[in-house]
Structure 1
Amino acid sequence: MQERVAVITGGSSGMGLTVTESLAAQGWHIVVLDRSVSETELGPNISPKAVDVTNYNQLAEAFLQTWKAHNRLDFGYVTVFANAGIAEKKPFYETQQPEELLPHPLDMQPLAIDLEAVINTAYLAMHFMRMNQDGKGGCILINSSTAGLYSTPNVPIYCAAKHGCLGLMRALAPQLMGEKIRVNSIHPSVIHTGLMSNKGWSSFPEDLFTPMSKLVAVVNMLIKDEGMFAQSIEVIMDQHFFRKGNEYSNADV
């Protein structure tokens, strides 16, 4: 049986680690791309690579090394799970600077990690999936957020980035399906990860948290169902919902 390979960004912690462990337990070989990872941190069937996902050259080299090691990315068997993400730390709305006329510069790192790196990950995945000699394509899964579906005024840059992830998926999916490359996105609700401090998480009611097991179940569903593409799935508590895109307001568009 052909080895199944997954590339997961941000796969050494949080949602990425949970998905990594789930797939490794199913016999997949996982290539984890993460800035803070070492060879001794993760288990068998997992190849960790220290990569800054905002650095295109590092990201591209990691994909190239993966391709050289496995010589293919298989449709239905390889998932690029664009997961790495952070929320902004500097408050957007606090612009007062008593001694200066200009406000403080914005923290744009969330945009670089949560959108630009996702775009580059999808771009590189597309490139290498096109190289499969048997023409089986591949599967790209973008991890967005419910912040990509709804307004989240407290983190506007993060919200903009996650909306961008949804837009990216909806633009790529119909274009790449002709090449048997399936593109989908998931939009988890509140999941306790390292994205915020314990104090930050304590502001959310416990009964609103989504269990990691539900996220993993949805990820596995999207990987295994070869008929699924262009799907944006909201994952909230113990449920999931398929979110359709807006219809064109003018039939001639």
Structure 2
Amino acid sequence: MTQQQNAFITGGASGLGKAIATWLAAKGIKVFIADRDEAGAKAVAAELQGAYGAVDVASWESQLAAFQKAIDLFGRIDYVYPIAGIGENIFLPTTTTEEFQKPNLSIVDVNVSGLLYTVSLAVQQFRRQQPTAFGIRGKIVVAGSVCGIYCCPSLPMYTTSKHAVTGLVRSLGKALISEGVTLNSVNPNVMRTNFSTDKFYDSLDSEGLLTPMQGCLDACQRYLDDDQLSGQNFEIGPNYDKGQGLVNPQFAPLVDEAQKRVFDKLLARGSAR
């Protein structure tokens, strides 16, 4: 008899998070929907015969409570999807005063700290679990973005937050695989979610520039199927459903042998901790 598999998803009440939850449930995987929209999380959980919890991802205590609830209900957590996030905000004060004003770093609180909280909970739980017959303790797929691979000057804070995600995946993902834990990301261009207005999405759609949600689900499927994929950032573009497929952006090359030696020493120093 196949063991029941279970997943924990932040931001699962809408958008990409809901799409992933629905996709997982169709595979017979039990889902726990963690979202600040408690009513939305409850509705999705009921629809998918899963469980839910209200959570403020920027709060460690809130995330811990929701994750513990999922463990209490499911026992084992096989997959974690930190999908919750927010879009660009104005972080620098727009007016000039005689006193310095504190910047708005809420996007870092949610997109970076919140994601790191979820990843930390996942890794700690996975380390406590026995590996499967294939040597896997658990898998994490985080929400990246095309802005985590390229730069958009008009979206500095969102770009910063998603570059942090890319860096985390490319580094920690390579380190965790030896423990039977995988960490990867999906990096879509613009999809129709609740981040922007219908007018903006319609303008992209009229030119065939919206990215299909199915591309992200196909990337998730790749990560589900391949136990050796970790530290990868699959990009999904607007031409995905026109035959482009998943794009796997590569690291910037080291410029010379001296730089390679520097990184060899950095790797050795970090590994010694």
Taking structure 2 as the reference length, the TM-score comes to 0.84
Say which SS state the counterpart of residue 33 (structure 1) adopts: strand
What is the match of residue 269 of structure 2?
Answer: none
The answer on 1:106 being equivalent to 2:108 is no
Q: Distance in 1 between matches of 2:100 and 2:194?
A: 29
What is the match of residue 128 of structure 1?
Answer: 125
Q: Give structure 2 stretches of 5+ with no counterpart.
A: 263-273
Q: Give the deviation of 1:214 after TM superposition.
A: 1.8
What is the match of residue 52 of structure 1?
Answer: 56
Q: Distance in 2 between matches of 1:127 and 1:184?
A: 17
* Match runs of 1:148-167 below 5 Å: 148-167=148-167
The answer on 1:242 being equivalent to 2:248 is yes
Q: Give the deviation of 1:132 after TM superposition.
A: 0.8
Q: Give the deviation of 1:82 after TM superposition.
A: 1.3
Q: Give the deviation of 1:205 after TM superposition.
A: 5.1
Question: 1:235 corresponds to which letter in structure 2?
Answer: I
Say which SS state the counterpart of residue 6 (structure 1) adopts: strand
Q: Distance in 1 between matches of 2:57 and 2:13?
A: 13
Q: Percent identity?
A: 26
* Cα-to-partner distance string for 1:215-235 (whole Å, 9 max, x where unaligned): 211112212211211111111
- Higher relative contact order, structure no. (Cα contacts within 8 Å, ≥ 6 residues apart): 1
Say which SS state the counterpart of residue 261 (structure 2) adopts: coil
Taking structure 1 as the reference length, the TM-score comes to 0.90
What is the match of residue 180 of structure 2?
Answer: 180
Of residues 166-175 and 198-207 in structure 1, the stretch that sits farther from structure 2 once superposed is 198-207
* C-alpha RMSD of the superposition: 1.9
What is the match of residue 21 of structure 1?
Answer: 22
Return the structure number with greater helix share.
Answer: 2
Q: Distance in 2 between matches of 1:7 and 1:212?
A: 20
Question: 2:22 corresponds to which letter in structure 1?
Answer: E
* Cα-to-partner distance string for 1:120-145 (whole Å, 9 max, x where unaligned): 11111000001113463110111110
Q: Distance in 2 between matches of 1:121 and 1:66?
A: 13
Question: 2:7 corresponds to which letter in structure 1?
Answer: A
Query: Do 2:12 and 2:33's aligned partners in 1 also have CA atoms closer than 8 Å?
Result: yes
What is the match of residue 112 of structure 2?
Answer: 115
What is the match of residue 66 of structure 1?
Answer: 70
Q: Give structure 1 stretches of 5+ with no counterpart.
A: none
Q: Distance in 2 between matches of 1:9 and 1:202?
A: 27
What is the match of residue 233 of structure 1?
Answer: 234
Q: Distance in 2 between matches of 1:205 and 1:197?
A: 12
Query: Do 1:182 and 1:229's aligned partners in 2 also have CA atoms closer than 8 Å?
Result: yes
* Cα-to-partner distance string for 1:66-86 (whole Å, 9 max, x where unaligned): 22222223xxxx321111111
What is the match of residue 252 of structure 1?
Answer: 261
Q: Distance in 2 between matches of 1:83 and 1:183?
A: 13
What is the match of residue 43 of structure 2?
Answer: 41
Q: Distance in 2 between matches of 1:17 and 1:160?
A: 25
